[in-house]
Structure 1
Amino acid sequence: MGLLDLIKKDNSALRRDVETTGSALQRAREGDEGGLTGAATRLMERLLDTGIDGRGPLDSADKIAREALRKRGSTDEAIDEIVKDHTMLAATGGFLTSLGGFITMPIALPANLVEFYLLATRMVASIAKTRGYDINKPEIRSAILLTLVGADADDLLKKAGVVATGRLSNLAAQRLPGPILMVVNKAVAFRLLSTAGRGVLTRFGRGLPVAGGFVGAGLDTYLIRRIADAARHEFPEVKPA
């Protein structure tokens, strides 16, 4: 069962949030500038509130990290467990939302985008928590979102007027004001939207019934593993003072 299926089954309020965000994403894809602004704002809010803190049936990143540490003992093994679980969920979601081909693509892809980045945000936040970071700090939460965009993070920080030094987790030492962090967070959401669905091969593969499901699963698996590798790098273990 994918994350979206879990949402639809157990939490109607969160389901409406995902569906509304997906509708905004669809308007943005069709060139509605207002839709893009609304989609970016709503996506940013969902990633921070639901992806990190959890909501309804979705466990928080803090709980995921604590349970993984309890089960596995060591930090590295706990992170391996977190990445494995989220990779399986991403693959399942990618398969199910791409299974119908062109017929269901206009509805399924926006929903899958929200589902995927909720999973990715929770995974990165869980890794950060496992490594000893306070994921309630605004700077760390911004660093978590920046991890989703990979190599684009430095560019987004520069455009926001932030001097990036070393790993993204170093943002916590800069004590950036709230308005700057809000600009950074929204810039991440815009970047995610602007890069979503690019690639002719990706769109073509997902347009084929059944075969599209395997392409969707493979693509989401690749992307979430790449984000996991970035998270391992950006959040090194916090050393005791």
Structure 2
Amino acid sequence: MTDEPDEKLNALEKVGTALVEQLMKVVDEGVGPLSGSRTYAEARAASYEDPEKAIRRIISETTVMVGTAGFVTGLGGLITLPVTLPANITGQAILNARLVGAIAHLRGWDLRDELVRNAVLITVAGGQPNAVLAQFGVKVSQKLTETAIRRIPIEVVRAINKKAGFMLVAKYGTKRSLITLTKLVPVVGGVVGGTVDAAFTGVVARVAKKAFPPLGSDDNVEVADAQ
């Protein structure tokens, strides 16, 4: 006899993990006609002495692209997931992920650090990274250094990643579009949010600017004993 609740949770986790992997690929390498976050950020920064001006341009450009239905739908078709989500929704997730990664990069955050990557994903879902990380005993004061990352048990990093995956599925799935997922994982029905529209990109941008403040040379991180 199988444990049905566990099966449902595992199915939801599978979708969340796949979405996390796809969005981080967008941040790292880009997808389709889009370059990755670092390349995009540096290309825009080359036109300005002040990185904050480059960030404003990136936010403006991304908002316009998110509002262009055909373009966004085309991007969404480039993501492969265990459960099909509508192309316009996954297209918005792609653009929002690149946006957050670009802001973090221009402000000095290392997109190779696992907790920075987790924070990017949480932000893409519209969440507050510090609040989520604090649930796992991690207090981020400023920069996440390599030494600090090594102090965090891999199990904790994986748990944070799983939480980010759940948040992304809840935000970027709609009640109508997740019929297949809801049948597979009925428990997700009460978690799934409404349709993500272009205005949400503005929310993501504001959260990103707060979550990734400009860093200086003496930045550090506090990591509490994680349980």
Could you tell me how far apart the structure 1 residues matched to 2:99 and 2:209 are? 11
SS in 1 for 2:102: helix
Question: What does residue 204 of structure 2 align with?
Answer: 227
Return the letter of the residue paired with 1:220: D
Is the Cα–Cα contact under 8 Å of residues 51 and 119 in structure 1 kept in the other structure? no
SS in 2 for 1:136: coil
2:67 pairs, out of 85, 91, 113, with 91
1:112 pairs, out of 88, 98, 102, with 88
SS in 1 for 2:47: helix
Alpha-carbon offset, residue 198 of structure 1: 5.7
CA spacing shift, 1:109–1:94, aligned 2, 3 Å: farther
Q: What does residue range 1-241 of structure 1 map to in structure 2 within 5 Å?
A: 35-55=11-31, 57-93=33-69, 110-151=86-127, 153=129, 156-159=132-135, 161-165=136-140, 172=145, 174-175=148-149, 176-196=152-172, 220-241=197-218
Q: Gaps spanning 5+ residues in structure 2: where?
A: 1-7, 74-82, 177-194, 219-227
Return the letter of the residue paired with 2:59: V
CA RMSD of aligned residues (A): 3.1
Could you tell me how far apart the structure 2 residues matched to 1:220 and 1:108 are? 18
Could you tell me how far apart the structure 1 residues matched to 2:70 and 2:32 are? 22
Could you tell me how far apart the structure 2 residues matched to 1:119 and 1:96 are? 8
Is the Cα–Cα contact under 8 Å of residues 27 and 38 in structure 2 kept in the other structure? no
Is the Cα–Cα contact under 8 Å of residues 97 and 120 in structure 2 kept in the other structure? yes
SS in 2 for 1:180: helix
TM-score by length of 1: 0.63
CA spacing shift, 1:179–1:127, aligned 2, 3 Å: same
Q: Deviations over 1:76-127 (max 9, x none)?
A: 1100111111111111138975xxxxxxxxx996322221111111101101
TM-score by length of 2: 0.67
Q: Gaps spanning 5+ residues in structure 1: where?
A: 1-31, 98-106, 201-215
Could you tell me how far apart the structure 2 residues matched to 1:234 and 1:85 are? 20
Larger fraction in helix:
1
